[in-house]
Amino acid sequence: MSGLLLVWGISPLLPADWDLIRGWFGIIGLLQILHFGFFALLSCHWRSHGLDAKPLMQQPIRSTSLSEFWSRRWNTAFRDLTHQFLFQPLTRKFGPIPAMWIGFFISGLIHEFVISFPAGGGYGGPTSFFLLQAIGLSLERSTLGKSLGLRRGWRGKILTLLFLLGPIALLAHPPFVLNVIVPFLDAIGAGQIRSQ
C-alpha cells in the first residue's frame, strides 16, 4: 500500500523542479509494489499450489551485515543464479575473495547494461556501487572488521546501511532517474499534477 501511495499519491504532488526527488519516490514505490508486493503475492500463490517458490526478498531491512544482505536477504532469485553459475565456478578457480570481487564487478556491468545504457548516462556508477559492496564485504571479513564486530549487531547494521545507502546514487544515478524513471512515472499516470 505504501508503494502505491509513493507512486500515485506523493510523487505527482511534488513541484516540477523536484523531478529527481519525484523519481526517487517513484523508485522506492515501484520497488515496494513489485519486489515486496506483487512478487511476494505471486510466491504465496505458487506455494499454495505446491511449488517451492520462495519469496524474492527475505526482509532485507533486518540485515545486520552486508554479507547477510547480499547472500540471504536481497533478490534471492538473482543471488541463486549468480551463486550457481558465477560465484561457485569462480571460487573453484580463484578462491572466495577474488570470486566475490569478480562477481560484484560482473553484477556492476549487468546493472550498467540495464540502468546506464537506457538512461544514456551515469556510466560507471553502477559498477562503482557494486565494487564498494566488495570493499564493504572485505572490511567485514577482515581481522579489523571481525574484532570490531562488523558482521553482527548494531555495528554491522550501521556498516550495512552506510555501504548500501551511502552510495545508492551511484546505482540509481540522476540520468537513470530523470531519463527513465520520471518518464515512466508520467507514462503510468503518476506524473506531476499540472494546474489548469
162-182 pLDDT tens trace:
999 999 999 999 999 999 999
Report angle CA 66, 67, 68 to the nearest 5 degrees. 90
Cell 514505490 maps to which residue? Answer: 29
Residue 71: which of 140, 162, 146 has the closest Cα?
A: 140
Buried b / exposed e over 53-70, threshold 16 CB at 10 Å, is bebbbbebeebbbbbbbb
Q: What is the number of alpha carbons within 13 Å of residue 3 lying toward its C-beta?
A: 12
How does pLDDT run across 30-89, given as a tens digit for each residue?
999 999 999 889 999 999 999 988 888 999 999 999 999 999 999 999 999 999 999 999
Does residue 132 sit in helix, strand or coil? helix
**What count of other Cβ atoms lies within 10 Å of the Cβ of residue 194?**
7
Q: How far apart are CA 42 and CA 150, in angstroms?
A: 35
pLDDT of residue 122: 98
This prediction has a pTM of: 0.92
The mean of the pLDDT values for the chain is: 94
Report angle CA 105, 111, 115 to the nearest 5 degrees. 150
pLDDT of residue 196: 45
**Grid cell locating 144:** 579489523
**What count of other Cβ atoms lies within 10 Å of the Cβ of residue 120?**
11
Tell me: pLDDT of 194 over 90: no
Distances in Å between the alpha carbon of 156 and those of 46, 66, 70, 133, 141?
34, 8, 13, 14, 11
Q: Which helix (H) or strand (E) holds 117?
A: helix 117-119
